[in-house]
A and B are shown apart, each in its own frame.
Chain A
Amino acid sequence: MKKRNPLAPLNPPLLPPSARSRAALGLTAAAARGAFQLQVCTHCDAVQYPPRDVCHACLCDALVWRAVPDGGRVLAETTVRISADPYFRTKAPWRVGMVALDCGPSVIAHLHADMGAGQRVRMSARLDKSGQAVMLALPEGSTDLSDDRQLRELACDPRGRRVLVTDIRSPFGCAISRAMADAGAQVLDGIGLDVTDTENVRRAAGAYGGRVEILVNTTLHIRPGGVIGRGDVVLAHEEIETTQLGLMRLAQSFGPALRGRGAEKPNAACAWVNIFSVYGLIPDAAFGAASAVHAAALSLSRTLRAELRAGGIRVIDVFVGPLDDVWHEAQPPPKVSPSQLAAAVVRALRDGVEEVAVGDVAQDVLARYRDDPKVLERELSGRPQ
């Protein structure tokens, strides 16, 4: 990789327009989870776009975000060469099209380079650098799309980027490093990084923090035990030091450089991945103490997401169920293997999502959580210990 001139000023991280109505944030919420959803009227089934507060066909106010058919046809395309917005001025020319969706609405969308008028497309909603959802029209079928310049701007593809994996010696960190290298990333040598030691993290950030384009925090510290049975808070201290304060130390040392390099060329800093127990969303009593620390760390991750947004850095929360490790031997299968987690992290980066659950258990818990957290709490606490 070509060395950058240390005297050259950093490109200020510009963001695309981020203002949205409250209704439009439904598109962002779905895109953050990797879903393509539009509002559908519960009364007359009319599909709505742009997002509305009442149905354009019957004025009913009960509109729900729902998966809809994503097929469509490009009606017209243009290449925007002159833009009013500073972000798009640096990205011009930019291809945009009008797509008639099979499910009804016409949608203005970012257009994959191969797509033109008359062609069939598959519509997707992706998060842009500002963290808001935008429509992206992709070719139908599953060809490799990763070379598209505009798509790359909407994703955090590891290819060609420098990645720091924090706990590279654990089986999970090791698998993630390997998967990153296989995906075309350059994995930085983070051996010796100790997230429980403030000075150590600061020194590491000083040494190579300016080269990190994707940081994957693989510090997975999930130990069994609830509240009463633990007897003391010694292990809880260790959990807090590792998972919660470890994340804060990493963020305070690596965050500023990452945020400042969000528009660097040729490869901009683009993502920060945290891995949490899905029981950070709602506790599993058998891992109650760890669940609480993961809940705290998850909360920190959301603040980190807000703080890194100014640099266009995506913060991805990866949720896991029981891991295939010594601490989960008493748990029934299925469990998450290192290679399974590694593949999911790479996929989440390529898809540019904010939230992903790995494995059947985490997906099941997340689905139940989104359906009704109170019901899930009863379901989990009623389980035989």
Chain B
Amino acid sequence: MTRAAYQDIVLAAPVTVPYARYSIHDAHWWIGRALAETLRIAGLRPRDIDGFACSSFTLGADTAVGLTQHFGLCPRHLDHIPMGGAAGIVAMRRAARAVQAGDAEIVACVAGDTNAPDSFRRMLSAFSRFSTDATYPYGAGGPNMSFALLTRNYMRTYGATREDFARICISQRENALSFPHALMKRPLTLDEYLAARPIADPVALFDCVMPCAGSEAFLVMREATARSLGVPFVTLRSTIERHNAYADDPIQYRAGWAMDRDELYAMAGTTPDGIDILQTYDDYPVIVMMQFEDLGFCGKGEAPAFVRAHDLRATGEFPHNTSGGQLSVGQAGAAGGYLGITEAIRQLTGGALGVQVPDPHLALVSGFGMINYDRGLCTGAAILAAP
């Protein structure tokens, strides 16, 4: 059965609350700030929205349920999405269908996390049952260790070099220099990248995102609603979502996008060549390469050659992670899975905070989340179009 098109579903009012390395505020504050700002942009009050989707790792005992009372919301579509880097795409998908079916008029999608000096360690030590049982006791390296293994295997299998990964990190840093909210403010050179402190070989400092506090939000509604509110919007063309794909692969070298990408492009009526801006989930550069391949921009194992052949900067011919991505802006927990979405909305509506890609028509955003044991389990992607 063919999936129903999204018709006139749009995304609007993107918000990035400026990140902070550490924060004395709870996650509730960060999520509340992002929600307030997205509503302010659209000229709405809390009671005007009837849908709320939330993602966070640091809400303690709370979920989206508690936040309704905290924030004075009265939604009829309520979602708590514990999918980390895939949470933004999943929130968008569910919100879009709810609005399309008439179960809700306006859904606010928000993700945010706080960060205190010891909170990352505490999250790692109890991230999931499989990681507590079978990952954390092995050096307690967290995702750095897990991605080091995937990176090593990828390098060994496909001949990628650290210089190849550097191209991704350096071009994103250049994008970040004009993005006002990026935590990394200094240019990154190849020499600095290569000489960086080793973390878990072959992963070194500039391959890792910096955990921080921050939040992101956007609204999902009908085009007519957006027009009546007078807010700039982008239309949702297609989405995909997949979990625990290729479970029999002994080590992760591909993920769910490869399983569903044909549908992603067919539903949007385009091909990889038609994409003007790509926002990948960049917790580590090896995962960016995996997305270039699995989303069809090049063949499996060809991403090292691809990054050598393309200018990945916002000013280049293959604009990628135009805000600087998590590698340069910072990783604000679950908000990391929203950063590409809010940035794509801004770029497509001509509202970039940093370098504006000239006249983009289509953007592809992808999400990746949750190293439950040895690999990321959740993948998602969406194609957005300028109106």
Interface on A for B, CB 8 Å cutoff?
A: 16-21, 23-24, 49-51, 56, 75-85, 87-88, 92, 94, 96-98, 100, 106-110, 117, 128, 130, 132, 134-135
Measured between beta carbons, the chain B residues less than 8 angstroms from A84 are 120-121, 124-125, 140-142
Q: Within residues 202 to 240 of chain B, which ones have a CB less than 8 A from any CB in chain A?
A: 202-203
Measured between beta carbons, the chain A residues less than 8 angstroms from B136 are 17, 19, 85
- Asked if B374 lies at the interface with its beta carbon under 8 angstroms from chain A, I say yes
Residue of B nearest to A110 (CB): B138
The interface bits of chain B over 76-116 (1 if a CB of A lies within 8 angstroms of the residue's CB, else 0) are 00000000000000000000000000000000000000000
Measured between beta carbons, the chain A residues less than 8 angstroms from B153 are 75-76, 98, 117
- Complex contact A109–B133 (CB within 8 A): no
- Complex contact B145–A96 (CB within 8 A): yes
Of the candidate stretches B177-185, B193-201, B306-314, B317-325, the one touching chain A is B193-201
- Complex contact A85–B125 (CB within 8 A): yes
Contact A117 to B137, CB < 8 A, known contacts A81-B199, A85-B121? no
- Complex contact B374–A81 (CB within 8 A): no
- Complex contact B137–A81 (CB within 8 A): no
Nearest 9 pairs of A and B residues by beta carbon:
A85-B140, A80-B139, A50-B134, A78-B148, A24-B133, A80-B141, A76-B153, A84-B121, A100-B250
- Complex contact B201–A96 (CB within 8 A): no
Measured between beta carbons, the chain A residues less than 8 angstroms from B201 are 78-79, 81
- Asked if B126 lies at the interface with its beta carbon under 8 angstroms from chain A, I say yes
- Asked if B5 lies at the interface with its beta carbon under 8 angstroms from chain A, I say no
Residue of A nearest to B205 (CB): A82
CA distance A205 to B156 in the complex (A): 55
Measured between beta carbons, the chain A residues less than 8 angstroms from B148 are 76, 78, 80
Interface on B for A, CB 8 Å cutoff?
A: 120-121, 124-126, 129-130, 132-142, 144-145, 148-150, 152-153, 156, 197-203, 247, 250-251, 373-374
CA distance A100 to B125 in the complex (A): 24
- Complex contact B120–A76 (CB within 8 A): no
Residue of A nearest to B154 (CB): A76
Given A76-B152, A98-B153, A108-B138: 20 more A-B contacts, CB < 8 Å? A17-B125, A19-B125, A21-B129, A21-B133, A50-B130, A76-B149, A76-B153, A78-B149, A79-B200, A80-B144, A81-B200, A87-B140, A88-B140, A96-B138, A98-B250, A107-B134, A108-B374, A109-B138, A117-B152, A134-B137
Residue of A nearest to B144 (CB): A82
Contact A94 to B149, CB < 8 A, known contacts A81-B198, A84-B120, A85-B121? no
- Complex contact A76–B156 (CB within 8 A): yes
Option from A19, A24, A82, A85 in Cβ contact (under 8 Å) with B200 = A82
- Complex contact B138–A134 (CB within 8 A): yes
Residue of A nearest to B120 (CB): A84
- Complex contact B133–A50 (CB within 8 A): yes
Measured between beta carbons, the chain A residues less than 8 angstroms from B144 are 80, 82
CA distance A14 to B156 in the complex (A): 35
- Complex contact A98–B251 (CB within 8 A): yes
CA distance A24 to B136 in the complex (A): 13
Option from B124, B126, B135, B202 in Cβ contact (under 8 Å) with A108 = B135
Residue of B nearest to A51 (CB): B133
For this complex, 18 residue pairs linking A to B, each with C-beta atoms less than 8 Å apart, are: A17-B125, A17-B136, A20-B133, A21-B133, A77-B152, A78-B141, A79-B198, A81-B197, A81-B198, A81-B201, A82-B141, A84-B125, A96-B149, A98-B149, A98-B374, A100-B250, A107-B134, A117-B153
CA distance A31 to B150 in the complex (A): 28
Measured between beta carbons, the chain B residues less than 8 angstroms from A109 are 138
- Complex contact A76–B251 (CB within 8 A): yes
Residue of A nearest to B244 (CB): A56
Measured between beta carbons, the chain B residues less than 8 angstroms from A117 are 152-153, 156
Measured between beta carbons, the chain B residues less than 8 angstroms from A107 are 134
Measured between beta carbons, the chain A residues less than 8 angstroms from B145 are 78, 80, 96
Measured between beta carbons, the chain A residues less than 8 angstroms from B139 are 80, 83, 85, 88, 92, 94, 96, 110
Contact A106 to B374, CB < 8 A, known contacts A50-B134, A51-B133, A78-B145? yes
- Complex contact A80–B200 (CB within 8 A): yes
CA distance A83 to B129 in the complex (A): 19
Residue of B nearest to A20 (CB): B133
CA distance A76 to B374 in the complex (A): 12
Residue of A nearest to B156 (CB): A117
CB distance from A64 to the nearest CB of B (A): 18
- Complex contact A100–B200 (CB within 8 A): no
Measured between beta carbons, the chain A residues less than 8 angstroms from B141 are 78, 80, 82-84, 88, 94, 96
CA distance A49 to B141 in the complex (A): 20
Measured between beta carbons, the chain B residues less than 8 angstroms from A17 are 125, 132, 136-137, 140
Contact A82 to B199, CB < 8 A, known contacts A77-B152, A100-B250? yes
CA distance A56 to B136 in the complex (A): 21
CB distance from B126 to the nearest CB of A (A): 7
Measured between beta carbons, the chain B residues less than 8 angstroms from A100 are 250-251
Measured between beta carbons, the chain B residues less than 8 angstroms from A16 are 137, 140
CB distance from A269 to the nearest CB of B (A): 22
- Complex contact A78–B374 (CB within 8 A): no
CB distance from A85 to the nearest CB of B (A): 3
